[in-house]
Every structure is written in structure tokens, then in C-alpha cells.
Chains A and B, each alone.
Chain A
Amino acid sequence: MAELRLAASRDDAAPEVSGAASAGPVSIAVRNVSKVFARDGQETVALDGVDLDIREGEFLAVVGPSGCGKSTLMRLIGGLDMPTRGEVTIGGAAITAPVTDLGIVFQKPVLLEWRTVLENVMFQIDMRGEKRRDHLDSARQLLAAVGLADFENRYPHELSGGMQQRASIARALIHEPPLLLMDEPFGALDALTREQMRLDLEELWLSTRKTVIFITHSIDEAVLLADRVVVMTPRPGRVDRILDIPLERPRGLEGRKTPEFLAAVDEITELFLANGTLHASRPVLNLLNKKEP
């Protein structure tokens, strides 16, 4: 089924544009942002002086080790939490409350178990107080687009993890937000499902050109999806480097085979080696090796 859908999308021949060139003016700016959490008298510096410009219509990936503040950064951009220092602006205005003009996808599907798949998508509409009538058709179309056409009346527990996550992506898109925040959306999926979701997301993005902030700790995924990859340091999280990914689109399954892909993955791996996220060889492993005759 998935293969059929992919084949069909190739016929549509999405316009081929190099990612970085398509990005428009700056729409979201993270200015010298720090976030300190205080709990039980202990302070955790989650983010430390982060500067970042997010351009309209670009696909931006953020990679970094667990606990480096990726989710915190996303919540600050969504106005779900406020920075300790610095500010986040959208269209020049500082964010002081939850941003409503966006869609969010979490690592877990976060579906309401008492609503069917279709009703979970419509949840977005109900909560916004918009007319259900105006959105039912597009909810069904979206479900079809994410491959859930036959499942609209099922309850979340009747779906696989991948299908649940597809439903949550449909929910994040139904109100046609210009901005999509995705926090490790494929992190809980098996490798094959994950690859399929990645292909489908690229296709979706090519046809909508929303601004996407995509958090992941998969270097491959970041490089294959993004126009730019933000590489973060271990906690306290800082921006280590921002890389342009000059791969042609659609990258699809071929993207992995290109020298540009390999070069970008290499470069990010080197950065993680240098900033202490990765270690070429662990001292403890050396000890183990020495014991062998």
C-alpha cells in the first residue's frame, strides 16, 4: 500500500528545488535564549544562550543528544514555556502566550482514547471553536493522505503505533497552520515504519511548504529531511553549528546514496565527536580489549 502511494506521488513530480534556496525571510527568531529549571533547590540549565533564525517555509531539523534541551527549545518556540533570559519572536513580536497558529506532533501520538481517529482530528477544530461542518471533508481528505482513509471510525487502541502517529500528524494539519513543530515524531516507531514516515513527510512538506521544526536524534533523518540542520551540544544546550543541506529534492530513497548526504552525516558526526556527545572509543572498552590475550 505504501509503495503504491509513493509511486503515485512520483508521477505528480513535485518541483525540484534545492532546500536552502527556497527558504524565505526570517519569521521566527530565537534571541540569546537561556532556560533554567529549578526543582528541589537544584538548577538545571537546559538551554544556554541559543540564537537561531527560522525562515519562512524552511524545513529545519534540530539534532542533539538526549537532555540537551531540544524539547525545551520547541516548547519555547510554541509559547508553551517562557525563557529565563532572552526572547523568542514570531514576525517580530515577542511570544508571551501559547502560539495558536501552529500544529504540534509529539513523540507519543497523544490521541484521546475516547475519540475515534476522525474525532481526534476534529478535536483540533472543536477546541478552536470552529464550525465542524467546514472541516469534516478536509479531515477525511487528510486522513486519506496519511493512509488512514479506512480507519476514521476506529479508536486509537485499534491502531498500530505508526498509524496512531499518522493520525496525530493529520490533527496537526487540519487547521492549516503555517508552522509545524515535531518533537521526535518518529522516535517511537520501528525502523521500517520510520523510513516510510520520513518519505511521506517529505512528500507532504513538498506539497505544502510549511515552516517545519523537526526535532530528532537521528542524524540520517535530519539530513534527509531538512534544509538546514541545527547541531546542538550536550547540556547545557547550545547551538554548536547550523549546516545547510544542499541535497536535491525530492530526496526519497535515493538521497542516502548521494555524496552530499554522506558528507553531511560525516560532518555532523565529527561535530558530535568534538563536542563530547560521541566518543570514538570508550576508555572502559579499551580496558575490556586489553584483557583479551
Chain B
Amino acid sequence: MRKTMAWLKRSRHAFFAFAGLLIVWEAWVRIADVPVYLLPPPSMVAVDLFERWPRVLDHALVTGNEIVAGFLLAVVVSIPLAMIIAYSRPVERSLYPVIVFLQIVPKIAIAPLFIIWFGFGFTPKLLLVFLLSFFPIVVSGIAGFKSLDPDVMDLARSTGANGLKMFLRIRLPQALPQIFTGLKVGAALAATAAVVAEFVASDSGLGYLLLEYNSNLETPMVFAVIIVLSVLGLLVYYAVELIERLAIPWHVSNRATAEEARTT
């Protein structure tokens, strides 16, 4: 409760700035008589979204499904892979250059290929979300598992602990901050990936809906869908951040806000 209050207090400036922007937008569109198909007033976007909410929600669930499934698949595959690469020299030598190279390929450009291979359904979307989230998680995971203070390892070896204990009590907690950095980047990319995949070919999802409203010049609904998409992306991002706070409350990234909350 106190934390929520502190958060509200901290974000009040941003809130007022945002409200101010909406008011200026609304006023300007009405005074200058801007055509609705170019720039609708925010109030109209809100009303239209409210009226067609059931339909938007159906499609949002489709896209949300793709985002969550693709992201989770990326997490499940990339963290163990990062571990193997970080701890095995031969695997690192053979796989790491491949990963670095693949990372340079503009992955969104692969979407049409996925359509050819896997059709119009769920699979190509899942794979593109997976592909975009995968790289930041792997790369930061490798960095996390590799960055180890040699003194800590000496200390650990002097206790005679076995490898599993060293992993669970030192290497893993020590890698978590960097892993979470990668997870957040991956989460932010996931929504983009899902929409792009739907742009390429689909009969449902927010990307599909967006193209449909766009071709009918229903600009208020285009705005509405963009807003829903942003909210969806934010939800995924903050879900990861919430888990981060619970998992590594000791880390600097979480410490700063905790201290801020204490002082304000």
C-alpha cells in the first residue's frame, strides 16, 4: 500500500503531462476541424473502442496467446542453452559465433518464410515471437553465467562444495540480474513480433484487425487497436519486472526504487 502510494506520488508528473497532451490533442482537432480519418479526437477513440470492445478483446486474446506462448518458449529454450554455452568451451566455440551471426539477421524478414513453412495459423506467430525474444535472453544469459568473481570461486572451492551447490548458491543467483535484463528486452520485442507475423498473413489477432481497420480508413479504431496492443506489451513487460522484483530484491535495479520510496 505504501509502495503504491509512493509510486503514485512519483508518477504524478508523468500523469499530468499525459492528461495535458490528450486535452491539447482533443482541443486542437476540434478547433482546427481536422478530418477524423486523419486524426480522430481521443474521445472518439475511447467511445469507438468501448462500443467494439468484445470484438477487439477476442482478437487481443489471440495475439496475447501468441506473445505469451512464444516468449515462454524462448525462456525455456534460451536459459538452458545459455548455461550450456557458458560452461562448455567446445559448445561455446561452435555455437556462440553462430548465435552472434544469426543475431545480425533481421529476424522480422524471416516471417514470410515461416508462413510458407507453417501456414497461416498459430505456429508461424509463435515462432517469430520465439525468435525475437530468444536472442536477447541467450546473449544476456551467457554473459550472466560467465561473469564470476574468481575470488568467490576460490572461496566456494575452499568449502569443498560440489558443483550443483556452487551452481545453485552462487552461479545462478549471480547470473539472475543479467538474465532478467535479457528477459525484459525479450518481452518488449515479443508484442512487435506477434503483430508483424499477423501483418504478413492471418485471419485473426490485433495485427489482422489493425490492417482491416486501416484499409477501411476507420482511423479511430486503428488508434484503439494500437492502444490495446501497447497495453498488452506493457502487461507482459511488467509481469517480467514483477517477477524480477520478487526474485532478486537485493539487486541494484530494484534497490534504487526501494530507496526512492523510502525517502519520498
Please measure, in the bound complex, the distance between the C-alpha atom of A80 and the C-alpha atom of B158, giving whole angstroms: 8
Please measure, in the bound complex, the distance between the C-alpha atom of A75 and the C-alpha atom of B160, giving whole angstroms: 15
Minimum CB distance partner of A114 in chain B: B250
Q: Are B160 and A128 in contact (CB under 8 A)?
A: yes
Residue A126, interface by CB 8 Å: yes
Residues of chain A lying within 8 A (CB to CB) of residue B156: 127
Residues of chain A lying within 8 A (CB to CB) of residue B160: 98, 100, 127-128
Q: Are A102 and B158 in contact (CB under 8 A)?
A: yes
Minimum CB distance partner of B165 in chain A: A127
Q: Are B255 and A127 in contact (CB under 8 A)?
A: no
Residue A123, interface by CB 8 Å: yes
Residue A113, interface by CB 8 Å: yes
Minimum CB distance partner of A125 in chain B: B159
Residue A155, interface by CB 8 Å: yes
Residue A110, interface by CB 8 Å: yes
Minimum CB distance partner of A102 in chain B: B158
Q: Are A110 and B149 in contact (CB under 8 A)?
A: yes
Which secondary structure dominates chain B's binding surface?
A: helix
Residue B33, interface by CB 8 Å: no
- Tell me how far the C-beta of B159 lies from the nearest C-beta in chain A, rounded to whole angstroms: 4
Q: Are B157 and A98 in contact (CB under 8 A)?
A: yes
Minimum CB distance partner of A183 in chain B: B151
A100-137: CB near B (< 8 Å → 1, else 0) gives 10101010101011110000000110111100000000
Taking each of B152, B154, B161, B248, which has the highest tally of chain A beta carbons within 10 Å of its own beta carbon?
Answer: B154
Please measure, in the bound complex, the distance between the C-alpha atom of A75 and the C-alpha atom of B255, giving whole angstroms: 35
Query: Given the interface contacts A112-B170, A112-B173, does A127 sit within 8 Å of B161 by beta carbon?
Result: yes
Query: Of A115, A124, A155, A157, which one neighbours B159 at CB under 8 angstroms?
Result: A124
Residues of chain A lying within 8 A (CB to CB) of residue B161: 127-129
Please measure, in the bound complex, the distance between the C-alpha atom of A266 and the C-alpha atom of B130, giving whole angstroms: 69
Query: Of B152, B169, B251, which one neighbours A110 at CB under 8 angstroms?
Result: B152
Q: Are A114 and B248 in contact (CB under 8 A)?
A: yes
Minimum CB distance partner of B248 in chain A: A114
Residues of chain A lying within 8 A (CB to CB) of residue B105: none
Residue B155, interface by CB 8 Å: yes
Q: Are A104 and B155 in contact (CB under 8 A)?
A: yes
Q: Are A113 and B159 in contact (CB under 8 A)?
A: no
Query: Given the interface contacts A127-B159, A127-B161, A128-B161, does A113 sit within 8 Å of B154 by beta carbon?
Result: no
Q: Are B154 and A80 in contact (CB under 8 A)?
A: yes
Please measure, in the bound complex, the distance between the C-alpha atom of A86 and the C-alpha atom of B165, giving whole angstroms: 32
Q: Are B248 and A100 in contact (CB under 8 A)?
A: no
Q: Are A100 and B250 in contact (CB under 8 A)?
A: no
A154-195: CB near B (< 8 Å → 1, else 0) gives 010100000000000000000000000000000000000000
- Within B136-194, the residues touching A (CB, 8 Å) are 149, 151-152, 154-161, 165, 169-170, 173-174
- Tell me how far the C-beta of A126 lies from the nearest C-beta in chain B, rounded to whole angstroms: 6
Residues of chain B lying within 8 A (CB to CB) of residue A108: 149, 151
Residue A271, interface by CB 8 Å: no
Residue A52, interface by CB 8 Å: no
- Within B37-87, the residues touching A (CB, 8 Å) are none
Could you list some 17 contacts between A and B, CB below 8 A?
Answer: A78-B154, A78-B158, A80-B157, A80-B158, A98-B160, A102-B158, A104-B154, A106-B154, A108-B149, A108-B151, A110-B149, A112-B152, A114-B173, A123-B169, A127-B161, A127-B169, A129-B161
Top 8 A-B residue pairs of the complex, sorted by shortest distance between their CB atoms: A127-B159, A100-B160, A127-B161, A98-B157, A114-B250, A110-B151, A106-B151, A114-B173
Assuming A75-B154, A100-B159, A115-B250, what are 19 further A-B pairs, CB within 8 angstroms?
A98-B157, A98-B160, A100-B158, A104-B154, A104-B158, A110-B151, A110-B155, A112-B152, A113-B250, A114-B248, A114-B251, A124-B159, A126-B165, A126-B169, A127-B159, A127-B160, A127-B161, A128-B159, A155-B250
